[in-house]
Amino acid sequence: MWMEARRCVAENKKNMRFPALENGALAARSLFVPDCEHFPLPGADGRNHEIYVHVPAVEPPPGGFPVLYLLDANADFLLVVETLRRLSRRPRASGIHPVVVVGIGYPDGPDYDLDRRYEDFTRGPPEISDAGWQASTCYGGQAAFIDFVENRLKPFIRATFPVCERRSALLGHSLAGYLVLDWLCQRPQSFRAFLAVSPSIWWGREAMLARLAKPKAAFDGRFRAYLTVGQWEEEPAPWQSDLSANVSYTSLRRRRAMIGNVRAFSEHIGEVYGDGVTVRCDIEDGGEHSSSLITCLPRALRFAFHDGD
């Protein structure tokens, strides 16, 4: 079906006639995204990550632009960049100023390289053993991935682009949101803001809580944490009638406890760090897992970078 649709598109182009085009052939061109570039960057193991960078086409502020590090860049880089581009046109109205975006993805990935994603974002298999995630044996590479970002990517970005690392944030959705929070538990000094959207806390909740409780050396305790989850992430939404009829899937959602985990984890962060941390927890009215990143972006960006905070 898909190949037939592609053939029809090609045939329609061939049959169209425009005076300015020779032989009636349309000259198709790839879309160009302004102020963006991407390039491979190898880690210590020799494997490349594909790095996507957006630098605003305006004069950098004194000290450089704030910088947003984005996980799952193959899937989410353009969404985040275009949201920022639109909102930062009128920063006095939106509360959002131009920001450099550094996306971390994988070569040749249309959306997700699932095996490398599971490997990079996790310490091991999930605590919920029958969680319904796609089967994979690639777990446990989280420490190497964090080391790549801290010791390879960040120094490269500082040396190459006009950024202010003191005003940096890390953003991730779903399993990447789980990594954002696990990163916070281990190295809260790494970013000024941690933005976890629909985080899969269920993957390693108890281990994360244990790491969160450990004292952190040489850290002044000042950072910001934003956690958000959709209203319909523990129960099927009204438009998901096919999922409502699936008893095992409905049970899975309840066991993952997306909303309960986000609420509880937000409270734990505040209890551990006290007045040094600013925590915001949003339950997105009408939201579900696949839409949560789209709907929360303005609030998350404002929370991370607003000049008045």
Number of domains in the chain: 1
Residue 207 domain-assigned (yes or no): yes
Helix (H) or strand (E) holding 272: helix 258-273
User: Is position 21 within any domain?
Assistant: no
User: Tell me, what's the pLDDT at 2?
Assistant: 44
Confidence label for 5 from pLDDT (cuts 50, 70 and 90): very low
Do the domain assignments include residue 20? no
CATH code (residue 135): 3.40.50.1820
Q: Is residue 297 part of a domain?
A: yes
Q: Which domain holds residue 71?
A: 32-305
Residue of 109, 104, 98 whose CA lies nearest to 52: 104
Flag whether 11 is in a domain: no
Burial of 29 (0-12, 13-18, 19+ CB in 10 A): exposed
- The one-character DSSP state at 257 is T
pLDDT (mean) for 98-127: 88
Specify if 92 maps to a domain.
Answer: yes
Q: Is 141 domain-assigned?
A: yes
pTM, two decimal places: 0.88
pLDDT band at 26 (very low <50, low <70, confident <90, very high): low
> Does 21 have pLDDT greater than 80?
no
230 pairs with which residues across the strands? 284
Give domain status of residue 8, yes or no.
Answer: no
- Mean pLDDT score of the chain, rounded to an integer? 87
Residue 49, CB-side half-sphere exposure with 13 Å CA sphere: 25
Among the residue ranges 124-133, 167-176, 238-247, the one predicted with the least confidence is 124-133
Q: Residue 46: which pLDDT band, with cuts at 50, 70 and 90?
A: confident
Chain centroid to CA 98: 18
In angstroms, rounded to a whole number, what is the distance separating the alpha carbons of residues 291 and 28?
31
